[in-house]
């Protein structure tokens, strides 16, 4: 395997594996938020804001993976 294909493979793996955890996490977050809204519809505003903040935290992990993938793809040049 030459370095270029290793780089491409690594990029795919990085974002693919890195997105699993945040995917599950965001699912759990939205699940909880929707249940709370269902139980207590008056608190919808604050629940939504907190949900978005939580989603941002969970998502940032995926974003780190994405950054790694992007660096692998565009920054490290496979010579």
Partner 1 sequence: MSKTWLYALGAIVALVLIVAIRIYFPFAVAPIKVAAEPLPGLVIPIPGFPIPITNSLLTTWLTMLILILLALWVRSGLQSVPNRKQNAAEMLVEGFSGLAEGIAGPKWAPTFFPIAMTIFLFVLLSNWLDLLTPILAAVGIQEQGEIIPILRSPSTDLNFTVGLALISVVLTQYYGMRAHGWIRYWGRFIKIGWVGNLIAVLTGKRKGNPGAVIAMGLIDTFMGLIELISEIAKILSFSFRLFGNIFAGEVVLLVIPFLLSFLVPLIFMGLETFVGLIQAFIFAVLTLAFMSLAVASHGAEHEAH
Partner 2 sequence: MEALGISPNLLLTQILNFIILFILLRLLLYKPILSMLDSRKQKIQESLEYAERVKRDAAEQQKEFDRKLEEARHAAQAAAASAAQVGEKEREVILAQAREEARQMIEQAKGQIEYERKQMMSDLREQVVRLSLLAAQRVVSQSLDDSAHRQLVSEFLAQTDELGKQN
Residues forming the site for partner 2 (CB under 8 A): 71, 75-76
The token duo for 35 is: 């249940």
Cβ burial of 25 (10 Å; 0-12, 13-18, 19+) is: middle
Find the part of the chain contacting partner 1 (CB under 8 A) among 6-14, 20-28, 36-44, 68-76.
Answer: 68-76
Supply the minimum distance, in Å, between the C-beta of residue 47 and partner 2.
Answer: 27
Give the three-class secondary structure for 32: helix
| 76 binding partner (options partner 1, partner 2, none; Cβ < 5 to 8 Å by kind) | partner 2
């Amino acid at each position: 395997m030459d370095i270029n294909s290793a780089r491409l493979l690594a990029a795919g793996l990085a974002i693919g594996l890195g997105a699993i955890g945040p995917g599950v996490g965001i699912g759990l977050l939205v699940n909880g938020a929707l249940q709370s809204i269902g139980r207590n519809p008056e608190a919808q505003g604050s629940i939504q804001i907190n949900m978005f903040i939580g989603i941002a935290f969970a998502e940032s992990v995926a974003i780190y993976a994405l950054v790694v993938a992007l660096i692998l793809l565009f920054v490290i040049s496979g010579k």
